[in-house]
Amino acid sequence: MSEAFSILANTKKKAARLVTKTLKSAVANAVQKKLDEDRLFIRLAFADGGPSLKRFLPRAMGRADNILKRTTHLTLVVEEGKNKIVDSGSLNQGKASKSQKTKQKKEAAQAA
């Protein structure tokens, strides 16, 4: 788990800060459930689209343009066990289909 925190600490993206916050929360929840913090690893991580805020931008001659302010649902599943290193070649390259996302959510729900 410390390796994940160090990678996120050295990443200069806004999302790294948000993922770090979510990961700390997941670790705290796991410790609350009496899991060993030193043996935790990230089993599954994905981001799904959340609700969109619909706003309007005024334009000339009384018109208006639609603006969608998108949000994201971030899901991290941590598990206790040996540190498993996932080969990047075995991961799905590209976007997952809707059926794959629902399958991942079901797996995450069963693991929790």
The end-to-end CA distance of the chain, in Å, is 18
Q: What is the pTM of this model?
A: 0.63
Question: Cα separation of 104 and 112, whole Å?
Answer: 12
* Residue 41 structure tokens: 């690893």
Largest CA-CA distance found in the chain, in angstroms, rounded: 64
Query: Which amino acid, one-letter code, is at 75?
Result: T
List the one residue out of 54, 106, 52, 99 whose CA is nearest residue 75.
106
Residue 87: burial class (beta carbons within 10 Å; 0-12, 13-18, 19+):
exposed
Q: CB of 23 within 8 A of CB of 5?
A: yes
Instruction: Go through the domains of the chain in sequence order and give each one's CATH number.
Output: 2-85+94-111 (3.90.470.10)
User: Tens of pLDDT along 44-94?
Assistant: 999 999 999 999 999 999 999 999 999 999 999 999 887 555 544 444 545
User: Tens of pLDDT along 12-56?
Assistant: 999 999 999 999 999 999 999 998 888 899 899 999 999 999 999
